[in-house]
Amino acid sequence: MKLSKEERSRILYDVANSAFVLVLAATIPVYFRAIAEADGVSSTQASSIFATTTSVAVLIVAILAPILGAIADTKGMKKKLFSAALVLGLLGGLSLVVVNDWQAFIWLLVVARVGYSLCNVFYDSMLTDVTTNERMDHVSGAGYAWGYVLSTIPFIIGIALIMLKPFNLGTAEATKISFLITVIWWAIFSIPLLKDVSQKHYVEDSLNHVLKNLWSNLRNTIRKIIDNKQMRYFMIAYFCYIDGVYTIISQSTNFGGEVGIGTNEMIIALLMTQFVAFPFAILSGKLAKRFGQIKLLIYYISLYIVIALIGFFMREAWHFWLLAFLVGLAQGGIQSISRSYFGQLVPKHESNEFFGFFDIFGKFADFLGPLLMAFSATFLNTSRYGILALIILFVVGIIFLRKTLHEETLSKRVN
């Protein structure tokens, strides 16, 4: 399927931010653990601190997302707010290069994560600006796919620096340079979106009017979500299953370090995840057309239940490799289909406000999962039971997806 210039430019932002996601999942937790433990923090405490601050970052975004989303639906505001969030994320990422104290590092990481996540609120809603409902699954899946495979380029360069230590670099210096390379990559591949993508759908009200009626507009959006059973059930399902997905992504290397998996083994396994995810993210669009989006999501969630069980029993390095391979099969598809399915449900001119709430559900889920991990690490002296608890959320997600499918079927019969 041939892509338009706007679709390609939007896909390139997936390439941009996926590099930061990969470093966030692999290098940053390992580096944080190293500098924290060097200052006397125990391995379990490091897991708890990292998980807790992750929850703080996503809580901030969850509060801001619907408010900024409503403002972004005003003509000309979507790209301006995206640009501001991008600057915040890039500055937060650059600051990680210059700090040495683990406490300063973890709070500056919160800044970078908030900027990155707010970018995604506006970026996700741009799906409605660059393509049609019929092409959304393909465009969304292609974004995740190319993001997975091309983001490995700066990551591999960074890992090579850390392992080879050229020019007499120390491990800490090489790691910081890898952060710098990632931030530069993020900035460069953001340019096509800033240049080529424009806001085609917007509300006609002035910004002053939107700000004046902000809270009533937010209440109206909540009411629309509640009154639409198909959207309501999907949002509840999404809240549950994406919790487990995001937790596994963000906490995998942190947990792997806790149970003694070697750093090099974890990094190579995560690289394998990226390359496995590439074809399956692209394939997800075709599978969605064949099986239906909701049924495909249920298949993916079932696979994540298996992944959570493997995580709970993980003892050996090959367990982590198996987990990484299975995540690669499902990760891109479950994210891209969720995004495109919601994009087809929402009113196009209010897409940013609705995606703001979509992000709330995703971020509160991302808040809950790491908090479960932190609770388990702190009070049970292991994160294993936090991983096991994710299965409950996956099961509840399947239940509400079945309700969503029922409402979808009824809607098609009426129409």
Domain containing residue 44: CATH number? 1.20.1250.20
* Tens of pLDDT, residues 277-334: 888 888 888 888 888 889 999 999 999 898 888 877 766 677 777 877 888 888 878 8
Q: Does residue 71 contact residue 85 with C-beta atoms inside 8 Å?
A: no
* Tens of pLDDT, residues 252-278: 555 555 555 666 677 777 777 778 888
* Tens of pLDDT, residues 216-252: 777 877 888 888 889 889 988 988 888 778 777 655 5
Q: Which domain holds residue 158?
A: 5-197+204-414
Tokens 């708890």 -> residue = 48
Count structural domains, the chain: 1
Average pLDDT over residues 141-149: 82
* Long-range pairs of 405-409 with CB within 8 A, sequence gap ≥ 24: 405/292, 405/294, 405/295, 407/229, 407/230, 407/233, 408/230, 408/294
| pLDDT of the residue at 179 | 92
Greatest mean pLDDT range, 24-28, 67-71, 92-96, 374-378: 92-96
Indicate whether 195 pLDDT > 80.
Answer: yes
If pLDDT is split at 50, 70 and 90, which confidence band does 87 have? very high
Single out the residue of 58, 82, 75 nearest to residue 190, CA to CA.
82
Q: How far apart, in Å, are the Cα atoms of 13 and each of 50, 119, 144, 313?
A: 27, 10, 10, 36
Average pLDDT over residues 103-124: 90
Spatial separation of the C-alpha atoms in residues 375 and 93, rounded to whole Å = 28
Tokens 């979808």 -> residue = 408
